[in-house]
């Protein structure tokens, strides 16, 4: 619980942090192993997912952020070669690079105070996190509607308006014959 509070607002514990599957292109949950060491678990095939995470809510462009961080930190050709990047820095593609875990880790742990942050529940995909929020929002609206109907009924009963309607309906209506008599006695 304390760890979740520590990273609230960062991608590290956000339910929208996702990994893109290379063949299906779907966005899957970034598991705890990836969140901790910014690498795919060893049980995965080494190329099952792209190496950089994606924000399902599109609030953060993590690929660009990591690319900017890499370019800013790796200034010498030797530094770039150590990470398997082109020595001249030309043609750098962060989605194809490997060994960028420390840069990914820095970006996903950064407290961006994200307005779209949602608590990560292990085992749910980012899409399922969104569906849970949508369902909860719908339930809140339904409860608000129900409360409004109940308050309206309570107000009607409290003011006695319902009773007045009943009394008015029970008043004798003049018969059509008596209406015609009144009309014939006129000037």
The reply to whether 28 falls in a domain is yes
Given this model, what pLDDT does residue 72 score?
Answer: 85
Could you give the CA distance from residue 79 to residue 141 in angstroms, rounded to a whole number? 55
Residue 180: its pLDDT value, please? 59
Q: Are 91 and 99 in contact (CB under 8 A)?
A: no
HSE-up of residue 93 (Cα within 13 Å, Cβ side): 4
Domain presence at residue 180: no
Nearest by Cα to 88 from 100, 79, 98? 79
Residue 110, in any domain of the structure: yes
Q: Give the distance, in angstroms, between the CA of residue 11 and the centroid of all CA atoms in the same chain.
A: 13
Residue at 98 is within a domain:
yes
With CA atoms as reference, report the closest residue to 48 among 60, 36, 30, 35.
Answer: 30
Whole domain around residue 74: which residue ranges? 2-124
Q: pLDDT for 105-133, tens place per residue?
A: 889 988 888 989 999 999 999 999 999 98
* 53 pLDDT higher than 80: yes
Q: Of 96, 103, 91, which is closest to residue 62 (Cα–Cα)?
A: 103
Specify the number of domains making up the chain: 1
- Residue 85 located in a structural domain: yes
In a domain, 185, yes or no: no
Q: What is the pLDDT of residue 2?
A: 38
Q: What number of H helices and E strands is found in the chain?
A: 8, 3
Q: Residue 73: what pLDDT?
A: 84
pLDDT surpassing 80 at residue 17: yes
| Structure confidence at residue 4 (pLDDT) | 44
* Average pLDDT across the chain, whole number: 79
Which residues fall within 8 angstroms of residue 7, CB to CB, at 6 or more apart? 13, 109, 111
Given a cut of 60, is residue 78 above it in pLDDT?
Answer: yes
139 in a structural domain: no
**Within-domain flag for 51:** yes
């Amino acid at each position: 619980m304390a760890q979740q509070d520590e990273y609230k607002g960062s991608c590290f514990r956000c339910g929208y942090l996702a990994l893109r599957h290379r063949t299906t292109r779907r966005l899957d949950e970034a598991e705890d192993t990836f969140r901790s060491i910014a690498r795919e678990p060893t049980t995965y095939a080494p190329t099952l997912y792209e190496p950089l995470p994606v924000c399902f809510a599109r609030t953060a462009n993590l690929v660009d952020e990591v690319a900017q961080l890499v370019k800013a930190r790796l200034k010498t050709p030797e530094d770039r070669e150590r990470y398997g990047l082109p020595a001249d820095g030309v043609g750098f593609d962060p989605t194809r690079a490997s060994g960028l875990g420390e840069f990914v880790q820095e970006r996903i742990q950064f407290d961006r105070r994200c307005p779209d942050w949602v608590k990560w529940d292990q085992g749910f995909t980012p899409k399922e996190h969104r569906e849970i929020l949508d369902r909860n929002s719908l339930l809140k609206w339904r409860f608000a509607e129900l409360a409004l109907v109940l308050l309206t009924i309570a107000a009607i009963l409290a003011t006695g308006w319902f009773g007045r309607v009943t009394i008015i309906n029970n008043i004798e209506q003049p018969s059509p014959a008596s209406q015609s008599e009144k009309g014939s006695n006129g000037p």
